[in-house]
């Protein structure tokens, strides 16, 4: 047989060899596990920087709802309000966030309200007191976290709005609690 014939035969023999050789064991399970791990890792890394905003927002919303319900009940039981002062309404615009943090009047008013609010809490039943205290703590924690976040990203409009809303909600709760502690003084303001 000539070299060319031998070569041709060899080429044909090679082409006739089996191209598909199934693996001895199913490899899919470990491939799938790696892929799922990879997918999970990628979705974790795709979370936005402020991913904590969502759970915090939910917590704050839940607190607002609980306090709102409680406020509704409290307003039915308490005497009519006369010229109620809303300290939080002093805050306006996006620069409020910076002002809130440093405004001495705001801080003084808030401290005074907080002191009286504690007395107001005493007038509540144990269950109500626990609920309001927990909700207030959640709001105050949210305010702290928002202030910290704004320190890193001062121009973030969403953070500014959330901070203003949280501060307003805190003040509303504190004012109502203060009213419950000493309704006579409140009406004389």
Partner 1 sequence: MGEQADPPAGAEGPATVVSIDQAWIDRAKAGDIKAFEQLYRRHVGRVNGLCLRMTRDQDVADDCVQETFIKAWRALAGFESRASLATWLHRIAVNVVLERRRRPERREESIEDMHDLEEQWNLDTPVETAELEAAIESLPSGARDVLLLSGIYGYDHAETASMLGIAIGTCKAQLHRARALLRDRIEHGVKHGASGGL
Please, are residues 117 and 180 in contact by the beta-carbon 8 Å criterion? no
SS3 63: helix
Q: How far is the CB of 45 from partner 1 (least distance, A)?
A: 14
Nearer to partner 1, 26 or 92 (CB): 26
Q: How far is the CB of 6 from partner 1 (least distance, A)?
A: 6
Nearer to partner 1, 16 or 92 (CB): 16
Q: How far is the CB of 14 from partner 1 (least distance, A)?
A: 4
Please, are residues 178 and 117 in contact by the beta-carbon 8 Å criterion? yes
SS3 31: helix
Q: How far is the CB of 72 from partner 1 (least distance, A)?
A: 46
Q: How far is the CB of 21 from partner 1 (least distance, A)?
A: 4
Q: Which distant-in-sequence residues (6+ apart) come within 8 Å of 70 by Cβ?
A: 128, 131, 132
What is the greatest pairwise CA distance in the chain? 121
Nearer to partner 1, 18 or 89 (CB): 18
Give the span between the Cα atoms of 13 and 96, in whole angstroms: 83
Q: Tell me, rounded to whole angstroms, the distance of Cα 15 from its chain centroid.
A: 64
Nearer to partner 1, 27 or 189 (CB): 27
- Contact set with partner 1 (CB under 8 A): 6-7, 10-11, 13-25, 27-28, 30-32, 34-36, 38-39
Nearer to partner 1, 6 or 185 (CB): 6
């Amino acid at each position: 047989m000539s070299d060319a014939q031998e070569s041709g035969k060899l080429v044909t023999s090679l082409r006739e060899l089996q191209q598909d050789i199934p693996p001895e064991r199913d490899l899919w399970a470990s491939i799938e596990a790696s892929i799922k791990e990879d997918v999970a890792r990628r979705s974790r890394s795709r979370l936005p920087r402020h991913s904590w905003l969502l759970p915090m927002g939910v917590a704050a919303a839940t607190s607002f709802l609980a306090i709102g319900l409680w406020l509704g009940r409290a307003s039915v039981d308490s005497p009519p309000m006369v010229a109620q002062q809303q300290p939080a309404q002093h805050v306006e615009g996006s620069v409020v966030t910076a002002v809130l943090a440093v405004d001495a009047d705001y801080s003084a008013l808030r401290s005074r309200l907080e002191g009286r609010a504690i007395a107001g809490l005493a007038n509540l039943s144990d269950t109500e007191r626990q609920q309001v205290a927990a909700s207030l703590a959640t709001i105050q924690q949210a305010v702290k976290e928002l202030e910290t976040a704004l320190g890193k990203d001062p121009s973030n409009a969403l953070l500014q709005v959330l901070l203003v809303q949280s501060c307003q909600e805190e003040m509303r709760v504190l004012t109502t609690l203060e009213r419950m502690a000493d309704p006579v003084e409140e009406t004389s303001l």
